[in-house]
Amino acid sequence: MGLIFKDADKKPIDTKVARTRAILLSLPFVFMGLFALVLLLHDGLHGGLDRQHAMGLLSAAIVCGGLIALIFGVSAKKQALQASALKIDDEKPWLGRKDWANGRLATSARKAILLLWIFVAFWCAASAFISLAVVPPQLQAGNHTTLIVLIFPVIGLAIIIFVLNTTLAWRKFNRSIFQMAAFPAVAGGTLVGEIQVQTRLRPLLGLHLRLSCVRRTTTVASNHRRTREKILWQDEKWLRGDLPQTGSNATRIPIFFKLPADLPDSSVSPGDGIHWKLEAYAKLRGPDFQAAFDVPVFKLPETPVPSDDPTLPYQMSLDEVRQKIRSLVQVRDLADGGREFVFPAARNPGFASGATVVCLIWTAIIAFLLWKHAPLPFLFVLSAINLLMAVFVFDLWFRRSRVTVNSKGVAVQSAWLAFKKEQQFRTGEISSVATGVGATVGHAAYHDLKIQTRAGKEFVLAKNLDNKPEADWLVRQMIAALKPSSEKPAG
């Protein structure tokens, strides 16, 4: 049993070493499983596959998948046993993490880069092998439909370009450090410090800072392991490019975020749980600057008095931010003292384009399976998911909203092409106007503007705003327009 579970009195192995060992041990089974699946697909398309041969190949693929799951399961069990053996101070749980020892946090991009390259290697090897084994014989047989398989190498090429740019940026900025002014950060207080970059930054479009509270959950169904991240809260800031310099080859990026008091503490374990992520991004000539830090945030008996915001001298004005993000949202003053907010369709073309590509790929896969006479229940489930994706994409491209706010209440008109829907809320019915996290892509959140009524119901005024400062500003403008004329400031 010593090969599977380490004795408690021995020195615990490093988590990175354990993960690397599990990956290396599983590689032979990955390739054998892929080879069995390719043979199954190749022989099946040629019609020369009998039932016994097919069951043998399918069994081999399933066994390989089971062995891979077993290897990673044993590795996870080792780490769980070691974590349970650690003695963590209940009063200072943040001391249980080595990288939180002194309040100097190193960028956490290295593990992500390694995982990206492993994913790229598997994707490219599998797609190239399948393409070479399937496409040429089928083209010789006059079956041109199989050219759809070539979409996977094209996707692989796009992924390689993305990962290569990310790797170049990491090599240039991998020594970035976040020095916290107070350790740990206190829930209900502030996160204060500075990111120390060992090179001179000259951002072309300013510097984007983002702090997110993320709940990470891993589920295991059969042999499939899936990790999901849900953004519970997020805030953003944009700073100008004239950041403080410390010599010719170093830059200091000031950090200041107000923290909500009603969110969970950071998880000491780097796996499942609550993670507070600080991210910084700037577009540069050459590789773009990117840095990410896992920040300790905990509730303490006493909340420190908030300090002055060191980012104020460098913050962009809202007009500058809206110009940088090319906001298409329009705000107009009305004759009755109210305001009109216009949210045009297709105002997030990048997000909508990405969602459209995913939907088209999914549709192509369903068409291929339909052509191959896949089982109807399986096709029905995939088609239902595809329909939901298509509705979401349609909403991104064609939904437009017009919100009119004055002292009498709020009128909302949502439209999709010729179809329109109108709602009205009297001022006395409205409990609050606020932002909420809507759709998410990775750690990027899109924000919805919502009305909460006194009856406890919630209605969406506008969806998928891609900038938190702008969304907060729109909420403040709506709340101001709701006030009676006598309470509004003159001018």
One DSSP character per residue, 165-178 reads HHHHHHHHHTT-EE
* Domain final position from 51, 66, 86: 86
Examine residue 229 and state whether it is found in any structural domain, yes or no: yes
C-alpha dist (Å) from residue 330 to 16, 323, 343: 49, 12, 7
Least confident of 90-94, 321-325, 342-346: 90-94
Q: Which residue has the higher pLDDT, 391 or 44?
A: 391
Strands 409-416 and 399-406: antiparallel
Q: What is the pLDDT of residue 5?
A: 37
Yes or no: say if 130 and 152 are a contact pair by the CB < 8 Å rule. yes
* Domain final position from 46, 69, 86: 86
SS3 396: helix
Q: Which residue has the higher pLDDT, 132 or 379?
A: 379
Q: What is the pLDDT of residue 192?
A: 92
Q: Which residue has the higher pLDDT, 489 or 292?
A: 292
Yes or no: say if 36 and 189 are a contact pair by the CB < 8 Å rule. no
Rounded CA separation 191/297 (Å): 8
Strands 224-239 and 207-221: antiparallel
Q: What is the mean pLDDT of residues 176-204?
A: 87
Do 308 and 426 reside in the same domain of the chain? no
Examine residue 150 and state whether it is found in any structural domain, yes or no: no
Rounded CA separation 236/256 (Å): 10
Question: Within its chain, how far is the Cα of 463 from the centroid?
Answer: 18
Examine residue 123 and state whether it is found in any structural domain, yes or no: no
Q: What is the mean pLDDT of residues 171-180?
A: 82
Contacts of 119 (CB under 8 A, 6+ apart): 159
* Tokens matching residue 460: 């969406």
Do 179 and 73 reside in the same domain of the chain? no
Question: Cα–Cα–Cα angle for 31, 33, 34, nearest 5°?
Answer: 65
Domain span at 80: 1-86
Q: Is the pLDDT of residue 223 over 50?
A: yes
Examine residue 59 and state whether it is found in any structural domain, yes or no: yes
Question: Comparing C-alpha atoms, which of 263, 268, 274 is closest to residue 217?
Answer: 274
Least confident of 26-30, 201-205, 444-448: 26-30
Examine residue 161 and state whether it is found in any structural domain, yes or no: no
Rounded CA separation 295/101 (Å): 12
Do 61 and 36 reside in the same domain of the chain? yes
**Number of separate domains in the chain:** 3
Question: Residue 326: which pLDDT band, with cuts at 50, 70 and 90?
Answer: confident
Do 82 and 201 reside in the same domain of the chain? no
Average pLDDT, the chain: 78
Q: Is the pLDDT of residue 491 over 50?
A: no
Q: What is the pLDDT of residue 61?
A: 66
Q: What is the mean pLDDT of residues 445-453?
A: 87
The Cα diameter of the chain in Å comes to 85
Rounded CA separation 101/475 (Å): 40
Yes or no: say if 99 and 294 are a contact pair by the CB < 8 Å rule. yes
Question: Residue 70: which pLDDT band, with cuts at 50, 70 and 90?
Answer: low
Rounded CA separation 105/295 (Å): 8
Contacts of 36 (CB under 8 A, 6+ apart): 57, 58, 60, 61, 64
Examine residue 54 and state whether it is found in any structural domain, yes or no: yes
Is the omega angle on the peptide bond into residue 137 within 30 degrees of 0, that is, cis? Answer: no
Q: Which residue has the higher pLDDT, 353 or 377?
A: 353
Least confident of 41-55, 93-107, 202-216, 263-277: 41-55
pTM for the complete prediction? 0.63
Do 339 and 469 reside in the same domain of the chain? yes
Which residue intervals of 90-150 are DSSP H helices? 109-140
Rounded CA separation 171/174 (Å): 6
Rounded CA separation 58/432 (Å): 57
Q: What is the pLDDT of residue 258?
A: 92
Do 290 and 431 reside in the same domain of the chain? no
